[in-house]
Amino acid sequence: MTRLQFVTTIYGLCATLVACGDPSAGGPTAPEALAPSADAAGHALTFNGTWSTMPSLWPVRWRHASGLLGNSIVVVGGLRGSELQALSRVDGYNVETRTWTRLKSLPIPLYDVNGATPIHGKLYVSGGRSSPDGDCTKTLFVYDPATNAWTRKADMPFKGCVGAQAHVLGQLYVYTFPQSPPNIRLFAVYNPRTDRWVRRPLPEGLHFAYPVAGAINEKFYLTSGEAFTGLPDRELEVYDPVTRTWTTKSPMLTGRSVASAAVGHGKLFVAGGVDRNGLVTGTTEAYDPLIDAWATGPSMPTLRAHTAAAWVGGKLYTIDGIMGGPLTAVVEALSTSY
């Protein structure tokens, strides 16, 4: 599969099938089937858990983002159904009452944002785009739940979307791209106290088109997306803000893009996405930095890509997304002690 073919698959992810609503499509398929890697074939670490269905989020959406504020998962933007309409809508899910509440909308419609990341009780949303034909934006919006209001902060150094971000040491670290093809990359840190951005060294891997990231022990973990080969990435790279260096760790077992991820129990959980065969997967894996190893867990009952994820109350939540052809409003939660 060439990079152009892969990017077309990832960016559209069966947009035609969504438009015509073909539930039998089963997802995009690559010209060739790739055998499992030797690492994956010989891997034995597993963890247990149980998936359960939670109240659905409507309207159905994909290419959205989510972050945690208190006991609520806040879902930001995305594309609405098969209409490919960018949303400014923001919804909050209270895990205690198991209810959805509509919150203050974004100042502009956005999808393909780099993430929705909590820092000191506020939610930071960087980049994204407002229309299928539009460029990425350099905006940074911050949501304050105390006032139910959004504020625009200093723009990123340049336009970026389809990236990943995380909170490390009180600051927002963002890895992103201006648009396709990925001839420019940005890794930068935003300081909420000074309202300033500073560039940082780029990772060795490409991680293009919807990588995932998380912060563990004050370090930035980055994996998934597209590799330089044009196929979904397995490489895991870790950035240390103290030394300002990247380190390569054990690769993820399933190369994938457009997956979702969240940090829980000191581990990075990755679920769903599109694998190296070009198929939507429900595979769930978790990385333990203490032993530098990945473990597989129970797959999502509903295979999805372009979903949003959050960890709260000992559970990994996956919200809405696309099944390969049709979209789904399903919300599922994985309970595990791993």
Closest of 23, 17, 39, 25 to residue 276, by C-alpha: 39
* CATH number (domain holding residue 278): 2.120.10.80
Instruction: Give the model's confidence band at 14: pLDDT under 50 very low, under 70 low, under 90 confident, else very high.
Output: very low
Report whether 329 contacts 62 (CB < 8 A).
no
Report whether 232 contacts 239 (CB < 8 A).
no
Closest of 258, 207, 210 to residue 234, by C-alpha: 207
Q: Give a yes or no: residue 163 inside a domain.
A: yes
**Tens digit of each residue's pLDDT (9 = 90 or more) over 108-141:** 999 999 999 999 999 999 999 998 888 999 999 9
**Tens digit of each residue's pLDDT (9 = 90 or more) over 272-325:** 999 999 999 999 999 999 999 999 999 999 999 999 999 999 999 999 999 988
Q: Give a yes or no: residue 309 inside a domain.
A: yes
Query: What residue has token string 């109240």?
Result: 55
Lowest-confidence range among 8-17, 36-45, 82-91, 181-190? Answer: 8-17
Report whether 29 contacts 281 (CB < 8 A).
no
Residue of higher predicted confidence among 28 and 92 = 92
Report whether 55 contacts 97 (CB < 8 A).
no
Q: Is this structure's pTM higher than 0.85?
A: yes
Domain count, the chain: 1
Q: Give a yes or no: residue 303 inside a domain.
A: yes
Residue 6 has pLDDT above 90, yes or no: no
Per-residue confidence (pLDDT) for residue 1, from 0 to 100: 41
Q: Give a yes or no: residue 37 inside a domain.
A: no
Q: Give a yes or no: residue 34 inside a domain.
A: no
Residue 36 has pLDDT above 70, yes or no: no
Q: Give a yes or no: residue 244 inside a domain.
A: yes
Instruction: Give the model's confidence band at 4: pLDDT under 50 very low, under 70 low, under 90 confident, else very high.
Output: very low
**Residues contacting residue 154 through CB under 8 Å, at least 6 positions apart:** 140, 190, 195, 196, 197
**Residues contacting residue 32 through CB under 8 Å, at least 6 positions apart:** 1
Residue 25, domain extent = 3-29+51-335
Q: Give a yes or no: residue 127 inside a domain.
A: yes
Helix (H) or strand (E) holding 76: strand 72-76
Q: Give a yes or no: residue 45 inside a domain.
A: no
